[in-house]
Amino acid sequence: MSTNAPPSFSNATVGKKILMAITGFLIIGFVIVHLVGNLQIFIGQHQLNVYAETLQNMGALKWAFRIALLVFFLVHIWKGIVLWLENRSARPVSYTKETNQESTLASRTMIYTGALIVFFVAYHISHFTLLDCHPEYQSLPLVDGRFDVYSMIILGFSEPLIAALYIIFVGLVAFHISHAFSSLFQTLGLTKPELLKRLRLFGALLAWLIFLAYASIPVAVLAKIITLPGGGH
């Protein structure tokens, strides 16, 4: 037996992976819940604004949720970076000729899609949550006494560049998830190869679904399928 004590759970090679899988799973859950919320935009201004207000009024629960989410993200990012650094150093000399047999592009680019997602998430929060980028959103008139999230989103996506940026963003998220989804089952110990194969397919499907559903909002705005209540900008 080796003389040194094995590393702690969170530093062990599989421990790190398990943390990635669990936090990743929770984040995917958030991505889906968030999507369900967003899609209410298609029901109408009132529905979305009521939903937003309900969330805002949850008080302590809201903060607990935000902090938990932040922790998930931080753990996921931190362990992701550690894994990436260790993996890079495990092969100091690379092959002259590289061939991929089984790995997907998504799996090989997780660190890059992940990094871009972090950047976009920061922009997204400052865009729609803190309203740093567009202080003018704060002066949107209240509708039925509620902050008009509906109009804010439409205003935001009416700028083609921002809409395009968001489409790329959700594309990256979906691409990241296309590997992540089945991968987390493998990491958490699914020992049925046939089921894993189906989950890999389902992961790809889920990724497409997430991409299309999220992207449908800026696309709908640009295509003027959903418009400001006044009919103009």
Partner 1 sequence: MNLTLHVWRQKNANDKGKMETYQAKDISDHMSFLEMLDVVNEQLADKDIDPIAFDHDCREGICGMCSLVVNGTPHGPERGTTVCQLHMRHFKDGDTIYIEPWRARAFPVQRDLIVDRSAFDRIMAAGGFVSVNTGGTPDANALPIPKKDADTAMDAAACIGCGACVAACKNASAMLFVSAKVSQFAYLPQGQAERKARVSNMLAQMQKEGFGNCTNFYECEAACPKEISVKFIAKMNREFMRAKVLKD
Contact residues for partner 1 (CB under 8 A)? 1-2, 4, 6-7, 9, 12-18, 83, 86-87, 89-103, 107-108, 110, 179, 182-183, 185-193, 196
Instruction: Please name the helix (run of DSSP H) or strand (run of DSSP E) that holds residue 20, with its range, or none.
Output: helix 13-39
Q: What are residue 54's DSSP bridge partners?
A: none
Q: Closest CB to partner 1 among 10 and 47?
A: 10
- For residue 15, CA distances in Å to 77, 79, 133, 209 come to 15, 10, 39, 30
CB of 83 to partner 1, least distance (A): 5
CB of 95 to partner 1, least distance (A): 6
User: How does DSSP classify residue 146?
Assistant: B
Residue 96 corresponds to which tokens in the numbers above?
């002259």
Q: Closest CB to partner 1 among 57 and 96?
A: 96
Q: Closest CB to partner 1 among 57 and 94?
A: 94
For 143: left if phi > 0, alpha if psi spans -120 to 50, otherwise beta; the answer is beta
What angle, 0 to 180 degrees and rounded to 10, lies between the N-to-C axes of helices 45-56 and 149-158?
A: 110
Question: CA 163, 167, 168, 173 torsion: positive or negative?
Answer: positive
CB of 106 to partner 1, least distance (A): 10
User: How does DSSP classify residue 92?
Assistant: S
Q: What are residue 146's DSSP bridge partners?
A: 143
Q: Closest CB to partner 1 among 13 and 129?
A: 13
CB of 190 to partner 1, least distance (A): 5
Between CA 183 and CA 220 the distance in angstroms is 32
Q: Closest CB to partner 1 among 75 and 162?
A: 75
CB of 35 to partner 1, least distance (A): 25
Q: Closest CB to partner 1 among 13 and 57?
A: 13
Answer whether 181's CB lies under 8 Å from 208's CB. no
CB of 77 to partner 1, least distance (A): 15
